[in-house]
């Protein structure tokens, strides 16, 4: 009798949570955060590169992000990439450094961002449930092949369900925290 490999299921559920964390990092909350600019890519040296590979990103004050471009010739491309990223930011170039002021969010924009956060968390919950479904199908196959008994199938199914519940609770908690952060004036 072989035990099913639940570490792969756990790893995939953790991956769904990590993807949600990255999505949330990109949502504006009215405060400056270097992770806000992480998804931005820049046309540089004949290819598309992540912003953090052509510049240093820092947060000198709560409502300002500073981007220090390493190669002066890329400053214009970096400024254009930040402006066209759809984040509602208006960067100002000063030689090799680019200052990105973070404007205050309107009430309508805050509500819109909470809805987007809700969509991200629902996608993450769906991913966790899909991993659960794959795990349950694996157990059915193992029982059918005679690798585990019906009782073992039931015990492993309960373990997979517990993992699913734990990850779903963590996703809900992350959403509640992000909504509170977004709605904070």
Q: Which domains does the chain have, with CATH numbers?
A: 6-25+106-183 (1.10.132.20), 34-101 (3.30.1360.40)
Report the alpha-carbon distance of residue 149 to residue 56 in Å, rounded.
Answer: 57
Q: Check: CB of residue 74 under 8 Å from CB of residue 54.
A: yes
125-137 pLDDT tens trace:
999 999 999 999 9
DSSP state of 36: G
Torsion angle defined by CA atoms of residues 68, 73, 75 and 78, in that order, rounded to the nearest 10 degrees: -110
8-54 pLDDT tens trace:
999 999 999 998 888 887 776 667 777 778 778 888 888 888 888 88
63-72 pLDDT tens trace:
888 999 988 8
């Amino acid at each position: 009798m072989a035990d099913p490999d639940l570490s792969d299921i756990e790893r995939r559920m953790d991956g769904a949570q990590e993807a949600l964390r990255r999505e949330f990092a990109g949502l504006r909350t009215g405060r400056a955060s270097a992770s806000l600019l992480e998804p931005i890519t820049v046309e540089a040296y004949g290819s598309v590169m992540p912003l953090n590979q052509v510049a240093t990103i820092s947060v000198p004050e709560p409502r300002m992000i500073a981007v220090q471009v390493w190669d002066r010739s890329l400053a214009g491309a970096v400024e254009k990439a930040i402006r066209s990223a759809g984040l509602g930011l208006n960067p100002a170039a000063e030689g090799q450094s680019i200052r990105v002021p973070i404007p205050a969010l309107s009430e309508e924009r805050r509500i819109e961002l909470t809805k987007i956060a809700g969509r991200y968390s629902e996608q993450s919950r769906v991913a966790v449930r899909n991993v659960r479904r794959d795990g349950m199908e694996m157990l059915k196959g193992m029982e059918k092949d005679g690798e585990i008994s019906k009782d073992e199938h039931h015990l492993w199914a309960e373990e997979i369900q517990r993992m699913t519940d734990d990850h779903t609770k963590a996703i809900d908690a992350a959403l509640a925290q992000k909504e509170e952060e977004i709605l904070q004036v």
